[in-house]
Amino acid sequence: MTIEPRDLLSLDGPWRFSPDPHADGERLGFCAPGFSDRLWRETPVPSVFEAGCPGIDFYEGVCWYRRAFSVPASWRGKRMVLHFEAVNYRAKVWLNGVLLGEHRDGFLPFEFDVSETVLFDAGNNLAVSVDNAHHEGDVPGMHTGWRGYGGILRGVWLNATGRLHVEGLRVVAEPCAGGGRVACRVLVRNARPAKAGCSLSVSISTQAGEVVGTLGPRALELAAGACNETTFEGVIANAHAWSPSSPALYHAVARIEEQGAVVDALDARFGFRRIEATPDGLALNGGHIFLTGFNRHEDSPRTAMASDSATVRRDLERMKDAGANFVRLCHYPHDPAELDLCDELGMLAFCEIPLYFWNDVEEGRRTNSARVESARRQLECMIARDANHPAVIFWSVSNETSEDEPAVAEANSALIRRARVLDPTRLCVHVSNHWTSHPHFDDDDVICVNGYPSIDWPGHGMSADGAQGRAADFWRTNLAALRSKYPSKPVLVTEFGYCSFAGTHGHAFGEDRHAQVIEAEFAGMDAPYVCGAAIWCWADHPWPAGRFHGGLSISPFGVVSRDRHALKPLDTARRMFRARQALDTPPPPPWPAGTGVVMIRPHMRDLVDTPFPEGYGIRPMSVHDIGLWTDIQRDAEPYLEIKDGTFIEQFGDDLAAIAWRCFIITDAKGRGVGTISAWYSRDFRGEDYGRIHWVAVRPSSQRKGLARSAMSFAMKKLAQWHDRCYLDTSAERIGAIKLYLEFGFEPDLTPANAPTLWQDIHARLR
């Protein structure tokens, strides 16, 4: 919703950028308004360091950002706040040569009042020093399991309000008989030099904008420089509860009025939702719920750790399709835009601060107090930022810390207690990998555990096959032992999983083994007190090179690759999660529902040689032809929605192979008029098959025999590598099916609906 009368100036877009490997930028005057940055590189904001200078991949240290901006004259006299949504990890900010301050919490927002620093009669210069190096006592500390990209990772803007303004709006809402109960805590600040009298109210409206309730107004009087906190409570009749299956959203708008005119307003989106832990599991809005989901790092193949809402949306939508109702946003506060999408799509969320791998090896006990203070500060900021999101049901204070150390165990407990004071409406937890030997869950609402029995098989003296056979027993036995210590608390398996190298099979890290392991382990999480499980992890992601698994720089635990290509374990996860949630398994095919057919050529003998018509030909594709391929498909395709990323989704698992397996049909002027691919499947019906895929000819070039010639060409290519092939298509494509039959493809009658479909197809062919 757009709420007047606030003003916002985005500072996203091109900035000037320079590395500072000796951290002497301040001495060199990088922060001075008159410093000449004309030879600096340009980089977009938000972005990571590598976007500004690709040659500094894996760089850890200081880099600088600078940009100029002007503010509207109409902002004179207003309160102006410079806001950074996230800078990783440490930041120092100068405006017009004035040091505004520093920030150390890389994934959380910070801001400065710049009302007296902004210039109106001249341009403004903003300089930011960013340091992504690890520092003892920080959170995260010296050891992380993800790659800590440096940069201005999220948005930057300048916000202008009146001096009398709403500074905060916290909404607590839950279903009740006949509707929903809501409490709105509003913080009003008077930054004027004199006292102010005003009226404060809160309106409640649906996502569509229909006002369904008004709280207040109340008269306020504030001294100069004073703050006032007012709480409004009420019941909204017929309010709809928020849930994964029905994510109903509402807006609360707090308004300040003077003499009948609105002088400031602040909007907060929320939902009516209640979450509770019981000895038998979790209750959402009073009904039992079992969590199935994935762990997701904030990583994009396009932007790394910088904002990428398109990738986030696609990830969450695919998780939902796979039967997930839950995502763990590991291991740090993610972009608020990701939580917005969780709210909208109905995805329950687990939020966490980056108190990670806390032990005495890297840093020692001397930094404990600094680390606990940093964790407390970040926990408070995360809860303040994200508390209005109905999707959020967990606050987690740490991941895989060394709980055999009393100081670590006590710090976890103290942080959980602090989280509960700040927000008693959500589940407050820590995540443990020491739970089999040093369980400490007295203060946790839910017991959250990580385990990798199938990965850890060498340490248990077992072969990979032996570990896989005992994986379910590991979970059943150890969870039962844990339950005996904490009989009143449900257990959430926050991490389980395995690894695979995309496109490989038949070895310890093959896709087939990956799929088998997650199914075997999930079967062991069937006790009634287990309230859910999250696979580690959704997508392969960068992590510190050389620290894990033979020096790999990309974590191979994803059920999709970093480029978001589905791996075999995703199919397995989809099947088992949808079964657990009692969801129908098969999705609609890409063509009209129920019309998909498969055709198989059982051998590659007796191939027909059909030359291209005069003036036409065929050439191999390259990655530079992806846009052309997309355009041809959009021109020719009657059923499928061809998206910008369709080619990568279909072929991205093996981009190198497009040079010898994907082809563009050309006309006499060399223009692309059609496509065909001689692709492959290593696991079609458990066997290796060639595949005719994505045959298309532009309408303006159809009826010239181009598809027939392209088929002849592609079949001969496949015969070099395969002894059989298949294709899939729609029963509606009668002309294409006739062509495929002529090339020796036979109907596959295996699917239950295939005989009926083919009876109709043969009738239409006659």
Work out whether the CA dihedral 604, 607, 611, 616 comes out positive or negative: negative
- What is the per-residue pLDDT for 714? 98
- What is the per-residue pLDDT for 137? 86
List the CATH number of the domain containing 500: 3.20.20.80
* Residue 710 near residue 632 (C-beta atoms within 8 A): no
Beta-carbon count within 10 A of 449 CB: 23
Instruction: Retrieve residue 214's tokens.
Output: 């008004």
284 domain residue, yes or no? no
- The reply to whether 396 and 485 lie within a common domain is yes
* Residue 349 near residue 598 (C-beta atoms within 8 A): no
* Residue 528 near residue 490 (C-beta atoms within 8 A): no
SS3 assignment, position 609: coil
591 domain residue, yes or no? no
Backbone angles phi, psi at 734, to 5 degrees: -65, -40
263 domain residue, yes or no? yes
Distances (CA, A) of 25 to 88, 114, 149, 553, 597: 18, 23, 20, 30, 64
Q: Which amino acid, residue 11?
A: L
b/e sequence 497-525, b meaning 16+ C-beta within 10 Å: bbbbbbeebeebbbbbbbbbbbbbbbebb
Instruction: Retrieve residue 58's tokens.
Output: 């894996």
- The reply to whether 698 and 745 lie within a common domain is yes
b/e sequence 303-320, b meaning 16+ C-beta within 10 Å: bbbbbbeebbbebbebbb
- The reply to whether 445 and 393 lie within a common domain is yes
- The reply to whether 264 and 411 lie within a common domain is no
- What is the per-residue pLDDT for 588? 43
- Give the torsion through C-alpha atoms of 361, 366, 369, 370, to 10 deg: -80
Q: Find where tokens 């972009």 sit.
A: 335
- Which residues of the chain fall below pLDDT 50? 1-2, 588-592
Measured between its terminal Cα atoms, the distance across the chain in Å is 58
- The reply to whether 400 and 505 lie within a common domain is yes
List pLDDT tens digits, range 615-630: 999 999 999 999 999 9
Residues contacting residue 719 through CB under 8 Å, at least 6 positions apart: 604, 607
Q: How far apart are CA 701 and CA 707, in angstroms?
A: 10
- Give the single-character DSSP code of 746: E
**Structural domain range at position 308:** 289-580
- What is the per-residue pLDDT for 645? 86
- The reply to whether 221 and 364 lie within a common domain is no
Instruction: Retrieve residue 260's tokens.
Output: 């009948």
Q: Do strands 530-536 and 541-542 pair parallel, antiparallel, or not at all (unpaired)?
A: unpaired
Select from 102, 130, 159 the last residue of a domain: 159
List the CATH number of the domain containing 721: 3.40.630.30
Residues contacting residue 225 through CB under 8 Å, at least 6 positions apart: 190, 191
- The reply to whether 144 and 183 lie within a common domain is no
* Residue 148 near residue 50 (C-beta atoms within 8 A): no
Q: Which amino acid, residue 452?
A: Y
Select from 538, 554, 580 the last residue of a domain: 580
- The reply to whether 622 and 555 lie within a common domain is no
- The reply to whether 321 and 193 lie within a common domain is no
502 domain residue, yes or no? yes
Select from 144, 159, 174 the last residue of a domain: 159
* Residue 284 near residue 532 (C-beta atoms within 8 A): no
Beta strands in 41-95 (DSSP E): 41-45, 62-69, 79-84, 87-88, 90-95
Q: How far apart are CA 581 and CA 393, in angstroms?
A: 19
* Residue 562 near residue 537 (C-beta atoms within 8 A): no
- The reply to whether 148 and 201 lie within a common domain is no
pTM of the model: 0.84
- What is the per-residue pLDDT for 459? 54
List the CATH number of the domain containing 179: 2.60.40.10
635 domain residue, yes or no? yes
- The reply to whether 522 and 611 lie within a common domain is no
Split into its structural domains, the chain has a count of 4
- The reply to whether 747 and 627 lie within a common domain is yes
Q: Which candidate, 354, 445, 349, places its Cα nearest to that of 388?
A: 349
- Max Cα distance, the chain (Å): 94
Angle at 453 between CA 447 and CA 455, to 5 degrees: 125
Q: Do strands 179-190 and 427-432 pair parallel, antiparallel, or not at all (unpaired)?
A: unpaired
SS3 assignment, position 710: helix
List the CATH number of the domain containing 24: 2.60.120.260
Q: Which amino acid, residue 670?
A: G
Beta-carbon count within 10 A of 668 CB: 10
Residues contacting residue 567 through CB under 8 Å, at least 6 positions apart: 500, 502, 511, 514, 558, 559, 560, 561
Backbone angles phi, psi at 23, to 5 degrees: 55, 40
Q: Which amino acid, residue 79?
A: R
93 domain residue, yes or no? yes
48 domain residue, yes or no? yes
243 domain residue, yes or no? yes
Quick one: which H or E segment has residue 762?
helix 754-765
